[in-house]
Structure 1
Amino acid sequence: MPRPTGDVEAFEAHASDADLDDLRARLAAARLPEAETVHGSAPGRRRWEQGVPLADLVDVVDYWRTGYDWRSFEEHINRIGQFRTTIDGLRIHFLHRRSARADATPLILTHGWPGSIAEFTDVVEELADPEDAGAPAFHVVVPSLPGFGYSDKPATTGWGTEKIAAAWVELMGRLGYAKFLAHGGDWGGVITTVLAGRFPAHVLGIHSTLAQAPPGLTTDGLTAVEREWTEETRDFWLHRAAYAKQQATRPQTIGYSLVDSPVGLLAWILDKFAEWSDTEDSPFERISRDRILDDVTLYWLTGTGASAARIYYESHNSLDPGLRVDVPSAISMYPRDIEKCPRPWARERYRRIVRWRSPEAGGHFPSLEVPGHFVTDLREGLAAVLAADR
């Protein structure tokens, strides 16, 4: 296997004690609003109709201040292996776990918003060196999107999904991976689609939890379930996507709150983990407080609330209607995700779907909600992708 070039530098995460003390002080001094005015405290998703319930937020803020251990997450990602390299004037941060297996295939995993590399830290090891010798193994690369985490914040416009996809090809090449597999969800799914459509000479195939069909397709011929998917997706964009409109049009305005107030940042992100997860009352039914706070604290310590929001300004509704994907593709539509695309629609863009699955459980964050199933599904999907060209 080729070795990385000299343009790649090792990196270690280490927040200062002063930054962590400042975070705890801000949490202790937080000024909170009164409680929401809907539905009292009865368990259920309706508790969240006005956003994060006060009682839930107070509980998480207290744990964040007195119980959460950021150092544990730092140690974890430092053990995996962190690096940075400069592409088009921007330092790109990434995790890189090289498999010990001689038959391992390079794989890039791309997160979205409000996610981060924290979405994949618990699955990297099993993907790289699986306990089952018969399972496929991967050289795993997990980059932080520009403006997210330890990647640099773009100082000019232009870092949309097309440019990011091109940067990922450059990144993988610097690591010695001229050809590779790709996976993503949310913005990571869009970037994975662009990677496969624009750079088929480099992309062996893809696995995605997001499929975006070309516009203008008819519902004629869809099953009842597929029609329901289209109605749910339409309802989401009509009635539950104010966050996207805000970040696509005025990311700087919301950014002041996200960078200045840890409680504001937590509420903005926790709201999405709650609404988009396959749960009945709280995201903590499936995802631990620690895992969500790993993600939120990474945003806080790197001051990336505003810069991460700008990916919506750069790329919202920008996927080329004419883009087609001809490399083998495996797609999984999790039942409580916010966008679910019917397979007949997906086939109009993804021309070689070699595996299609609709898992029984999971939402927008499957690597955190159902990590065991996610790893199995990803392995099986990528195995089908690799088998398609043999």
Structure 2
Amino acid sequence: MPSPTPGEPAPIAARTEDRPGSFILPSSDDQSIRPFEFHASDQDLADLKGRILATRWPDRETVPDDPQGVQLATMQKLAAYWADEYDWRKCEARLNALPNFITEIDGLDVHFIHVRSRHPDALPVIITHGWPGSIVEQLKIVDPLVNPTAHGGSAADAFDVVIPSLPGYGFSARPPEAGWNPPRIVNAWLTLMKRLGYTRFAAQGGDWGALITEIMGAIAPPELVAIHTNMASTAPPEVFEALRSGKGPPDGLSNDERWAYERLDLFFTHGVAYANQMGQRPQTLYGIADSPVELAAWFLDHDISSYRMIARAFDGADEGLTRDDVLDNITIAWLTNTAISGARLYWEALPRTSAGFGMERNNAHFFEPIGVRVPTAVSAFPDELNQAPESWAQRAYPQLTHYNRLPKGGHFAAFEQPGYLVDEMRAGFSSVR
């Protein structure tokens, strides 16, 4: 369904309790695509500020660095900026300036941004975010993808962009029952692209978005022409066996492969506490639904590298993530009350056994290849969880069409280094246009 014609009055909207402050057009049938806007109430924003200011702070960590978790000084700087200087309305205006929609798929309202390029041969691409994330991660790359001639590219680089909110995240509805795992999300995304009229498209993702994109690539529906990932699942079986056993790296690794092994080992042994909790007992995290400061701390404590890249935004870093980037993402989760529903994706996706749910040493499999069967492009950012050396990527993706190691950037590539990610998507999908 197209956006309302410029100059025409907007239809009367209906408030929805599932997404407080949001407005959507009433649905006429299950296939309808309804324009959407979000407007947080002044009351909700005042409540947010009051809760930040009412935080009861713990004492300082007893070590000089961050092995005990997110540091007190970082959180107090974040909270002070959030309460006194941050302006949610700026993010809200950026979101509402784009064509936002809601459609019901498999019984659930799914939110998405859909921007068509003015260039006639634009390649449609569905881009999926991860945790702790939302569609704000991709806002910086929308215009360069859709309007390449205004951003150093050519008309041949143009994309039609579809950016959905994962079920239970942001402006998508919170699933009322169990079962919304990555394969079900893939089916929803395929339904969405068909509903939008696309018979040929590409897919891109990082974090959970990478896994969802790779599952789509393993299913290999005929309309999917290629995928691009900035968090590749490439670690070979002998590496996972070594990670599970704890006996050290396997013999014969190159320097790049050994570095990748060491990063994975560090992640599985010291950086995965957040995922263990959400994979086993997400409902217990009541604090992230009740305290904005606890929500922020939980989002910051992703893994050691990501935490440090986020924290430096509050230490005056002059590039990468900004303070507003960090808080835009956290504030969406707060205003929509989707912190717990978003956490449940880990519970849905990862096997729960007596040994754990799959992210720790004795059952580590998150970065294991899953049999992608379509042309694949890989962008390896140096501060990502899996370094994805090219030799592993060649084994994992039989139709590897593009591989590149970037000079900087980490887990939140679209957020941190949007220019690099746009260039990588242009290059990665060039062979299938």
Q: In the alignment, does 2:257 pair up with 1:226? A: yes
On the 8 A contact 2:233/2:367 being kept in 1, the answer is no
Q: In the alignment, does 2:337 pair up with 1:303? A: yes
Q: 1:313-353, CA deviations, whole angstroms, 9 ceiling, x for partnerless residues?
A: 01125879784222111001111111223333333432100
On the 8 A contact 2:79/2:293 being kept in 1, the answer is yes
Q: In the alignment, does 2:301 pair up with 1:271? A: yes
Deviation at 1:228, TM superposition (A): 1.4
Q: 1:157-180, CA deviations, whole angstroms, 9 ceiling, x for partnerless residues?
A: 111110001100000111111221
Q: Which segments of structure 1 move beyond 4 Å, counting only runs of 4 or more?
A: 2-6, 218-221, 277-281, 317-322
On the 8 A contact 1:183/1:208 being kept in 2, the answer is yes
Q: Identity of paired residues, percent?
A: 41
Per the alignment, residue 253 of structure 1 pairs with 284
Q: In the alignment, does 2:144 pair up with 1:110? A: no
On the 8 A contact 2:272/2:303 being kept in 1, the answer is no
Q: 1:284-303, CA deviations, whole angstroms, 9 ceiling, x for partnerless residues?
A: 53211001100000000000
Per the alignment, residue 143 of structure 1 pairs with 164
On the 8 A contact 1:169/1:202 being kept in 2, the answer is no
**Where do residues 83-94 of structure 1 align in structure 2 (5 Å cutoff)?**
83-94=101-112
SS in 1 for 2:59: coil
Pairing partner for 2:377 from 302, 324, 330? 330
TM-score by length of 2: 0.82
On the 8 A contact 1:207/1:329 being kept in 2, the answer is yes
On the 8 A contact 1:330/1:382 being kept in 2, the answer is yes
SS in 2 for 1:108: strand
Q: CA RMSD in A?
A: 2.3
On the 8 A contact 2:305/2:383 being kept in 1, the answer is no
Q: Which amino acid aligns with 2:324?
A: D
On the 8 A contact 1:335/1:358 being kept in 2, the answer is yes
Per the alignment, residue 19 of structure 1 pairs with 44
On the 8 A contact 1:70/1:297 being kept in 2, the answer is yes
Q: In the alignment, does 2:58 pair up with 1:33? A: yes
Query: Cα 1:320–1:160, aligned 2, differ >3 Å: closer, same or farther?
Result: farther
Between the aligned partners of 1:224 and 1:110, the Cα distance in structure 2 is 32
Stretches of structure 2 that go unaligned for 5 or more consecutive residues are 4-29, 240-249, 351-357, 359-364
On the 8 A contact 1:329/1:355 being kept in 2, the answer is yes
Query: Cα 1:83–1:280, aligned 2, differ >3 Å: closer, same or farther?
Result: closer
On the 8 A contact 1:278/1:362 being kept in 2, the answer is no
On the 8 A contact 1:135/1:379 being kept in 2, the answer is no
Stretches of structure 1 that go unaligned for 5 or more consecutive residues are 40-46
Give the count of matched residue pairs: 377
Between the aligned partners of 1:320 and 1:277, the Cα distance in structure 2 is 20
Query: Cα 1:322–1:295, aligned 2, differ >3 Å: closer, same or farther?
Result: closer
TM-score by length of 1: 0.91
Between the aligned partners of 2:192 and 2:279, the Cα distance in structure 1 is 27
Pairing partner for 1:161 from 173, 182, 191? 182
On the 8 A contact 1:9/1:83 being kept in 2, the answer is yes
SS in 2 for 1:121: helix
